[in-house]
Amino acid sequence: MMNAPVSTQWISISPGFEGYLALPPAGHGPGLVLFQEIFGVNAHIQAVAEQYALDGFVVLAPDVFWRQAPRVELGYDGADRQQAFTLMQGYAGPDALADIAASVKTLRARPEVGAARVGAVGYCMGGRLAYLAAATSDVDAAVAFYGGGIQTQLDRVGSIKCPVQFHYAERDDNIPMSAVESVRQAMAGKPAEIHVYPGATHGFNCWARASYHAPSAALSHGRATAFLASALF
């Protein structure tokens, strides 16, 4: 019986702060910090980490709600959904920036990454964190999937030096097309790509959610992988 191609483990980022590490089949490669949705580093985010690890990246998914609910894993409906929004509302901006910096630093220090480049990718809340990573850390590329609130932090665009790719759903109730256009205008002149997926709604990449849209998920993952491969390998 073959061994699993991807090996995973929880590692320490800083005292009390952990992350889910997924290593590629080769055992080494460029680093990729994967920022979670508001539902924690749950089974879906762990699977996404493994998906990118199969693509050749050393992936670290930091548990950013560690101050409030360490290793929380939530579903998408009912009480779990309400808890997720409560956790997001309690996640302060300075804490987020500290978590971004610590996660990138920890991944760069991993022997499996060595001197290779490091990028960031995130979904939903994590999309905003990936954008902030591009603006406030030394990542070499960033990909933001339906990052809510990016349009309210466009004052940080001037600090972005690395290429950034954005993915948005055309029918996102949380992110109107006017917000996407604001991002597009702010990023003009930067090495940025913005993709909008017709007919898709918020959370289209998550196969565990009712909003899952397989054509958009497949197309966006292919675009993100190609973009990250070009920037990081």
Please tell me what DSSP assigns to residue 139.
-
Active site residues: 124, 172, 202
CA distance 13 to 104: 9
1, 8, 22, 32, 129 from 146: Cα distances, Å? 39, 26, 23, 18, 11
CA distance 138 to 161: 9
Kindly provide the b/e burial profile for residues 97-108, where b requires at least 16 CB atoms within 10 angstroms of the residue's own CB: bebbebbbebbb
CA distance 130 to 146: 11
Cβ distance 171 to 199 under 8 Å? yes
CA distance 158 to 160: 6
- DSSP-derived secondary structure for 183-222: HHHHTTTSSEEEEEETT--TTTT-TTSTT--HHHHHHHHH
